[in-house]
Amino acid sequence: MRDLSPRPLAVAVAVLAALLIAPICAWADVGVLGVPPPTPPGPFTNPPAFGREPAPTWSWQASASGGGATILRYHVMVSQDSGATWRVASPATVPAAEPATSWRPSWPGFAADGIYQIKVQAEDGDHVLSEWGYSSTYVLDRVPPQVALTVPETGLETNNVDIVMRGTASDSPWGVAAVHWEVRDPDGRLVAGVARFGEPDASFTPSAPLSIQGEYIVRLNAEDRAGNLAVTTERTFKLDTIAPEMSLYELLVTPSRMLQGDVYISDSQPRIKVVAVDTLGGSGFNVDGQLDIEVFADSETPQRVSGTVTRTPTRPGDDGGSWTALWSPSGPMASGRYYSWITIVDDAGNKLERGGAAHRFVIDAAPPGMS
């Protein structure tokens, strides 16, 4: 057997080493498939937490590739119930972009309101997938709040200068973000005041007692966290702090005469006529105003005389209508001293009372004696 010389042996070893090292060098820049995998996508740039846009946009920072491969695309899944269940999104994938990639739902966007969230997975050129990256939630809310006014009630006429406006505003399930009051006086100027709200109760308290007579306008609106505005609710009320007037008082008897400041009559069944009017622009008597005539015997303990009151018309047809009342006794009245008492109340609650000595009369039905 022939031994190899040292020189040929060294050449053989060098050739063998070259054959082994060359493939390793060729794969040095590639790495092992899927080691490490791409990093999860993120962080995310999210749409606002609440909104009315059915096709919001999410974007995220690009994933870092592993094993020398590049990121090809991202897979997207979407949840409508804050991550409880997931479905394949539409579009289901988006091409990778640097430095960030974005996704929005296919037109026309999400069909129903809900709490939406997406999760995204990167895929590299070796088809290796990353872990999922998760966005924040987005509440799609296209339903406006509900509002209602409770004070003033419909058709209110009041003499309350310290009236507090009240109402309700609610938005289920997300809640009301802001309540807006607008109160204008009869001259069209805004009434300053303090608004308070604790869902669902809303109130508006004027900064100072109301002083201008006439019709006020009250409007209430609300906005939810997504920016939906409620349909404005509006009412008016009339402020009337001036008492009505008695334009006519008449004792319907014949004949009569004055004696020592009293009206003397011989008629044992006198009648009393009163006409009531409200001030210009006042609340009138057409809703629940009051017009009463009473007659009392003027004694140490006044006794009410039985009688009836007939009103014409039964009730005025509008705020400006006058009102007439006629009192008649139930039967003949005994001779003696009497006085009437008149009460007039308008629809706002302002009261006028007249009577007593200023409306006293004396019945003297006995003929004078002969000597």
How confident is the model over 107-138, as pLDDT tens digits? 999 999 999 999 999 999 999 999 999 999 99
* Average pLDDT, integer, range 250-274: 91
Query: What is the model's pLDDT at position 57?
Result: 97
Residues spanned by the domain of 103: 44-140
Residue position matching structure tokens 């109301």: 210
Query: What is the model's pLDDT at position 70?
Result: 94
Is 135 part of a structural domain of the chain?
yes
Gap between the Cα atoms of 167 and 164, Å rounded? 10
Is 315 part of a structural domain of the chain?
yes
Question: Which CATH number do you get for residue 228?
Answer: 2.60.40.1220
Query: What is the model's pLDDT at position 262?
Result: 87
> What mean pLDDT value characterizes the chain?
91
Q: Which of 140, 170, 185 is the last residue of a domain?
A: 140
Residue 259 pLDDT class (50, 70, 90 cuts): confident
Residues 228, 268: one domain? no
pLDDT at 4 over 60: no
* Average pLDDT, integer, range 195-217: 98
Yes or no: say if 218 and 183 are a contact pair by the CB < 8 Å rule: yes
Residue 33 pLDDT class (50, 70, 90 cuts): low
**Domain count along the chain:** 3
Percent of the chain with pLDDT over 70: 90
Gap between the Cα atoms of 203 and 182, Å rounded? 11
Percent of the chain with pLDDT over 90: 83
Is 31 part of a structural domain of the chain?
no
How confident is the model over 274-333, as pLDDT tens digits? 999 999 999 999 999 999 999 999 988 999 999 999 999 999 999 999 999 999 999 999
Question: Which CATH number do you get for residue 92?
Answer: 2.60.40.10
Residues 356, 262: one domain? yes
> Backbone phi, then psi, for 367, in 5-degree steps?
-70, 155
Q: Percent helix, strand and coil across the chain, each rounded to 5? A: 5, 45, 50
pLDDT at 22 over 90: no
The region of weakest confidence among 59-73, 149-163, 308-322 is 59-73
* Average pLDDT, integer, range 206-231: 97
* Average pLDDT, integer, range 218-234: 97
Identify whether 91 is preceded by a cis peptide bond (ω within 30 of 0): yes
Could you give the strand order of the β-sheet that contains 307-312, starting from the edge strand earlier in sequence? 245-252, 271-277, 323-329, 307-312
Question: Which CATH number do you get for residue 319?
Answer: 2.60.40
